[in-house]
Structure 1
Amino acid sequence: MRPSTLDPLFASVTSLPGIGPKVGGLMTGLIAPAGAADAKVRDLLFHLPSGTIDRRRRVLVADAPEAEIVTLCLRIGRHAYPAKAAGNQPARILAEDASGEITLTYFRPNRPWLERLLPEGEEMIVSGKVERFNGRAAMVHPDFVAPVAEAELMALVEPIYPLTAGLAARTLRKAIDAALERVPDVPEWIDPELVRRHGLPAFDQALKRIHAPQTPLDATPQAPAWRRLAYDEFLASQMALALSRQRMRKTRGQVLGGDGTLRRRIEAALPFTLTQAQAQALREIHADMAAPERMIRLLQGDVGAGKTVVALLAMAAARESGAQSALLAPTEILARQHHAGMAAIAEAAGLSLCLLTGRDNGRARAAKLEAIASGQVDIVIGTHALFQDDVAYGRLGLVVVDEQHRFGVHQRLQLTRKGNAPDLLVMTATPIPRTLVLAAFGDMDVSRLHGKPAGRQPITTVAVPMERLGEIANRVGRAIEQGERVYWVCPLVEESEKSDLTAADERYASLRQLFGDAVGLVHGQMSAEEKDAAMTAFKSGQTRIIVATTVIEVGVDVPEASIMVIEHAERFGLSQLHQLRGRVGRGSRASSCVLLYRGPLGETARARIAILRETEDGFRIAEEDLKLRGEGDILGTRQSGLQSFRMARLDEHADLMEIARDDARLMLTRDPTLETPRGAAMRQLLYLFGKDEAVRLLKAG
């Protein structure tokens, strides 16, 4: 049960004075978490300013800079109202100070209201932007007006908030002020030494400081108040991940030591020797598998760093201990590719493989299920079909998940419910900055594969304006005559009136006019069978150019492909461009990546392209991508395991994430059931940030 002290924060915004159902509905659309039926008082408090207006600058009319917000002390003079026949003419109120005159202009004037607001002969404080027409100063619709006697009530630094159509800034401001009055006195959940070292205010003080700033700096992400709230959000998230990890590790795992015989056979059958990074990752994985606690490990490798071989050797270690492995791929194309890539080496070592996808049915499926259940199959490869109810394993010891960022933390728990607490090894070819790894995978240990396997060719990257499209098409024609293969990536599937991006269908048609049947097409709107057929034709050389959307971004392996053309490269994220580029340079040929862009390039697009030309290190690219566009959509999909934060900014508050991860793990080591006073405060934090599920994990024990 949520502590009753937090109830005022979980009341609907419509419980605040002046907020009816209509305004409440607008607020829900603006500030409530996805899927919430209505906005809560807490959501208002967590809706932080996007900037401030500084009204502390008091000047004389004559000195007022144009188009900047200033505050003037004026004596109000004559009111001049338009005649009724004048239609949309404004009211003009003349005012002055010792240095000169200014006209206060109001369109669609309400005369009685204006006469009450600006009484003739009164001294008033007026704030807004000054403009000059023919040398005369004017202010259109001042932002703030008050008698001099009431000037101390004026918010000299006013926060500005993101709004939505129909919701007035003043209405939102009043609602936030009312919400601040409801903030309860909560116990401190942050370690006192950390509070002291970082100069963090208390939770309630932090909210008040940001929403009622004394200086513009008080409402910036670097301010102590904002850093306090960012840390709270990180700590809640890391605590939830640590509780998930504690729950998974509580179930005693299987000891999968093995004697190394199968692994030695596989290494002997490989056409290359393992890199230092692969050998180190394998040492970490085998140490985890041999321990009685369950392994929960993330294997991060750049495009083409050799993760699949590491996974195969881990699955061989499971087999040496008499256990089966399941390899889960996000798409059928990738599942088939893993099966084809592993088959020869696995069979040479005496390992039996089976491919299970949603396409299997009837007798063939029944035979596979029987072989899996009886333990005849050592390694099962497939899509989500591996975890359907009718799939039973003889002894499942290891689950390997490819491209884990497609699955969230709760799927991680589901994936390992088959079998007797199997170990979990998760792989991603998306280089993810360290802060994001902690955000999405804080419950896991991490192994990183740096560098590429021996023999991989460097890729030459060039940026070319769209005007030179004809030249690129000619170059592609010469390349396919010499037996090379080409990826041609477009951002959209079909031409849309809303966008000038070239559609994949349209580019496919234009390239077919030049190169005939040598051109194939693959995109996300095709069925799995159509995609497979298109990729098989490309892999076999039946087609030499494949026009594609980003469905080929992850994992598809065609060693003969040596040219990657990306249209409208300026529209793609840096990590996504790097992923696409990694589809070439996998064979013995020198490879190139052509970034076609439509100018003029913005600053961010130019920086992206420059970084891509400079380096092939995916981890450096990912860090730069985070700096360029924040956490936004760094993993290429909003449906990723990565949550987005409401107040914390991964690019601004990265240093706090690591502290939160360590603090959460240490807290659970000392107080695994959160029963101490600080533990009880931590439960309040989890409820406050919507981590109720984590508290349920705690109760389930």
Structure 2
Amino acid sequence: MRPSLLDPLFASASALPGVGPKTGKLLDRLLGEAERPARAIDLLLHIPFSSIDRRNRPKVAQAAIGAVSTLKVRVVEHRPPRAKGRNGPWRVLTEDETGDLTLVFFRANSGWIEKVLPVGETRWVSGLVELYDGFRQMVHPDRILDEAGLAALPPVEPVYGLTEGLFPRVMAKAAAAALARLPQLPEWLDAKFLRATDWESFGASLGRLHYPQMPRDLAPEEKFVARLAFDELLSHQLALRLVRLKMQVLHGRAQKSEGALAARIRAALPFDLTGDQKSAVAEIVADLSSEKRMLRLLQGDVGSGKTVVALLAMAHVIEAGRQTALMAPTEILARQHFATIAPLAGAAGLRAALMTGRDKAAERRATLEALANGALDIVVGTHALVQDDVAFARLGLAVIDEQHRFGVHQRLALGEKGEAVDVLAMTATPIPRTLALAFFGDMDLSTLREKPPGRQTIDTRAVNVERIDEVVAGLGRAIKAGARVYWVCPLVEGSEESDLAAAQDRAEDLRKFFGDRVGLVHGQMKGRDKDAAMDDFSCGATKILVATTVIEVGVNVPEATIMVIEHAERFGLAQLHQLRGRVGRGTGKSSCILIYAGPLNETAKARLEILRETEDGFRIAEEDLRLRGEGEVLGARQSGAPGFKIARLDLHADLLRAAREEAEKILEVDPEFLSERGQNLRLLLYIFERDQALKLLRAG
């Protein structure tokens, strides 16, 4: 039960004083969710992203051009539009002892203007001062005030993110009403820690952000934002650690083997394991052999050999007498994994099957029966594996690939198909350590940085779209020499509202030059058609595969040596790196051509430049975090992601590390949150809505 002290914060925003039904609906659109309206707490945590400094109050002649000033002026004359109607601007001439200022109003309400700016009276006007035809002017002043109004004007006005129809002053008023609801909260941070940081209380910090005294109060590195960001990160880290503790304490079964099956698989490999692969296998085997339940993330750069590591982990579990499953987010990726695993598993005498959403009824029944009676050792599939009718005889290891594409519930659902199931998650998106701690802090981490022997370096070049004819001509020469080519486009179909190349249109264009040697694959195709297009490309029946990002991960055609990415400036850095990783997988010299439409902004330039400089996915991931922030590094925000409201992982990495350390200390001393501080920390978890973790305490 949420403590009653917090009830005012979780009341509907529409119930706040001064917030009527119309404003309430706009707040719901901005801050609410599908199943619930906006609440006072949503307003409080929707902190301003900028401010307007109203403290600059010079004389008219000294007002800086292009800056906001608040000026004391006398109204001299009204000049209505010369033409009939209201299309021309309404001008009001004002002055002080140093010069003139013209106030300009378009589509003016003359009655209102004459009322708020009576001739002969003195007023304060605040807004952007511009120069027009040699004279100072202010178009649509932000504020027109008498002396009483000036006294009530905030010296620094907060600027909030808004939605259409929601005006700044209405938003500020609603935030102020929410702040008035904030109860006196006890302190949950350690007193010594607070003194060292010089932070103020949670409530005082919130108050300073909604009523800033100086523009720098809102800076992410300043103490007011830092305090709240730390609170949010601490709540998240506590929740992750509680989940982890619960999984380890409640579940766990030692799975031990002599390593005979793994040795057979290693003997069947055409290459030696890298040092990183050996280390990762050792870490995973140690987890599997312990009494604690494994929850480990295996992250590796493109082509670093994660599937083989996962298979060796599966062999250990199978030798210990249990079954294993690998779940991938797409059918293409599931089939690719199965193509890698099946021959190696067969060499070790293991029985493997593939299960996807479009298996024939008879195939599916046979697979379900073999899983249920224990005849199958390994099943590879899509989310079809977590459907209700899938039952295992003795599932011991769940491997989840590209796990950030699954929601947190799907991610754990496969592990719930058996008793004390160990979980190994994998990702081909190199994750900066900051993000790994935040998104996957409930997991141990194994990292593959080395590439298996034989992986080729990739020559990466950026080419303006105006030279696309040269690119096509170059492909013609390369195909004659035996090359195979990926051509990636960001959209499936053209649109009148978009200048992006469409995969279907591009395929038609290329067929004019290359005929039926051009294939097409995209996410809206039926599964069988996708497979057929991939098979044609794999066997060489087609030489150019035009695709959307459906080929981003997992697709493995060693003969493909050229990757063309159209409108590369529209893709994220990590996504470009993933796409580039589809080539350089065989023995041939490989290249990646990034076609862009100029002019490029600074972020797009930096993105293409770093790709040309390096193939190190971890360096690229750090740059991606710096350029875009955490929300996009793993693709679109997923339901399994934390969704921070205040903390910014690209700027608050040090706070995240400190929050992780603090969470570990707290749980060592008071894992049940029974102390006075523990009770206060429960409030923190409720405020940032990480209270699901508290249910684990009550569950036993």
TM-score (norm 2): 0.96
Amino acid at match of 2:304: A
How much has 1:143 moved relative to structure 2?
2.2
1:291-306 to structure 2, matched below 5 A, reads 291-306=290-305
Determine the structure 1 residue equivalent to 2:2: 2
Cα distance in 2 for partners of 1:544, 1:86 equals: 66
1:205-220 to structure 2, matched below 5 A, reads 205-220=204-219
Amino acid at match of 1:528: G
How much has 1:638 moved relative to structure 2?
2.7
1:521-536 to structure 2, matched below 5 A, reads 521-536=520-535
Deviations 1:489-520 (A, max 9, x none): 01111111111111101111111121122111
Amino acid at match of 1:466: V
Cα distance in 2 for partners of 1:444, 1:370 equals: 33
For residue 579 of structure 2, give the secondary structure of its aligned residue in structure 1: helix
Cα distance in 1 for partners of 2:379, 2:142 equals: 67
Which stretch of structure 1 is more off in the superposition, 592-601 or 472-481? 472-481
Cα 1:591/1:79, change in 2 over 3 Å: closer
Amino acid at match of 1:480: I
Amino acid at match of 1:11: A
How much has 1:350 moved relative to structure 2?
2.1
Determine the structure 1 residue equivalent to 2:159: 160
Which stretch of structure 1 is more off in the superposition, 146-155 or 317-326? 146-155
Cα distance in 1 for partners of 2:366, 2:35 equals: 45
Cα distance in 1 for partners of 2:562, 2:105 equals: 62
**Are 2:86 and 2:108, in contact at CA under 8 Å, matched by a contact in 1?**
no
Determine the structure 1 residue equivalent to 2:20: 20
Cα distance in 2 for partners of 1:619, 1:311 equals: 21
How much has 1:424 moved relative to structure 2?
0.5
How much has 1:111 moved relative to structure 2?
6.3
Cα distance in 1 for partners of 2:369, 2:400 equals: 23
Which stretch of structure 1 is more off in the superposition, 430-439 or 287-296? 430-439
1:201-240 to structure 2, matched below 5 A, reads 201-240=200-239
How much has 1:551 moved relative to structure 2?
0.0
How much has 1:583 moved relative to structure 2?
0.4
Cα distance in 2 for partners of 1:23, 1:146 equals: 24
Determine the structure 1 residue equivalent to 2:647: 648
How much has 1:95 moved relative to structure 2?
3.4
**Are 2:86 and 2:107, in contact at CA under 8 Å, matched by a contact in 1?**
no
Determine the structure 1 residue equivalent to 2:401: 402
1:184-199 to structure 2, matched below 5 A, reads 184-199=183-198
Cα distance in 1 for partners of 2:109, 2:368 equals: 79
Cα distance in 2 for partners of 1:664, 1:189 equals: 12
How much has 1:98 moved relative to structure 2?
2.5
Cα 1:600/1:86, change in 2 over 3 Å: closer
Which stretch of structure 1 is more off in the superposition, 638-647 or 563-572? 638-647
Deviations 1:181-238 (A, max 9, x none): 1111112222333322222221111111111111100012122111111112222222
**Are 1:248 and 1:413, in contact at CA under 8 Å, matched by a contact in 2?**
no
How many residue pairs get aligned? The number is 700
Deviations 1:46-71 (A, max 9, x none): 12212111122221111222231112
Amino acid at match of 1:95: T
Which stretch of structure 1 is more off in the superposition, 391-400 or 423-432? 391-400
**Are 2:462 and 2:593, in contact at CA under 8 Å, matched by a contact in 1?**
yes
Amino acid at match of 1:301: G
Cα distance in 2 for partners of 1:357, 1:123 equals: 76
Amino acid at match of 1:15: A
1:41-120 to structure 2, matched below 5 A, reads 41-78=40-77, 87-88=86-87, 92-107=91-106, 114=113, 117-118=116-117
For residue 600 of structure 2, give the secondary structure of its aligned residue in structure 1: coil
Determine the structure 2 residue equivalent to 1:382: 381
Cα distance in 2 for partners of 1:237, 1:153 equals: 39
Cα 1:264/1:110, change in 2 over 3 Å: closer
Amino acid at match of 1:348: A
**Are 1:451 and 1:617, in contact at CA under 8 Å, matched by a contact in 2?**
no
Instruction: Structure 2: state its 5+ residue gaps.
Output: none
Cα distance in 1 for partners of 2:83, 2:619 equals: 66
How much has 1:656 moved relative to structure 2?
1.4
Amino acid at match of 1:51: S
Amino acid at match of 1:547: V
Determine the structure 1 residue equivalent to 2:442: 443
Q: State whether structure 2 residue 310 is matched by structure 1 residue 318.
A: no
Amino acid at match of 2:500: L
Cα distance in 2 for partners of 1:112, 1:392 equals: 75
Deviations 1:250-296 (A, max 9, x none): 22312112111122222122111111111111111111111100000
Determine the structure 2 residue equivalent to 1:471: 470
How much has 1:464 moved relative to structure 2?
0.9
Which stretch of structure 1 is more off in the superposition, 288-297 or 51-60? 51-60
Determine the structure 1 residue equivalent to 2:270: 271
For residue 367 of structure 2, give the secondary structure of its aligned residue in structure 1: helix
**Are 2:304 and 2:451, in contact at CA under 8 Å, matched by a contact in 1?**
yes
Deviations 1:408-446 (A, max 9, x none): 333333221111111100110011122221222111000
For residue 205 of structure 2, give the secondary structure of its aligned residue in structure 1: helix
**Are 1:122 and 1:147, in contact at CA under 8 Å, matched by a contact in 2?**
no
Determine the structure 1 residue equivalent to 2:391: 392
Amino acid at match of 2:2: R
Deviations 1:146-166 (A, max 9, x none): 344664432121111122222
Deviations 1:51-108 (A, max 9, x none): 1111222211112222311122334445566799664555554433221233334456
Cα 1:601/1:141, change in 2 over 3 Å: closer
TM-score (norm 1): 0.95
**Are 1:211 and 1:219, in contact at CA under 8 Å, matched by a contact in 2?**
no
How much has 1:570 moved relative to structure 2?
0.7
Identity of aligned residues (%): 57
Deviations 1:556-584 (A, max 9, x none): 11111111011111111100000000000
Cα distance in 2 for partners of 1:115, 1:80 equals: 11
Amino acid at match of 2:62: D
How much has 1:544 moved relative to structure 2?
1.5
**Are 2:386 and 2:410, in contact at CA under 8 Å, matched by a contact in 1?**
no
Instruction: Structure 1: state its 5+ residue gaps.
Output: none
For residue 633 of structure 1, give the secondary structure of its aligned residue in structure 2: helix
Cα 1:36/1:471, change in 2 over 3 Å: same
Cα distance in 1 for partners of 2:562, 2:530 equals: 20
For residue 632 of structure 1, give the secondary structure of its aligned residue in structure 2: helix
Cα 1:546/1:14, change in 2 over 3 Å: same
Cα distance in 2 for partners of 1:88, 1:478 equals: 61
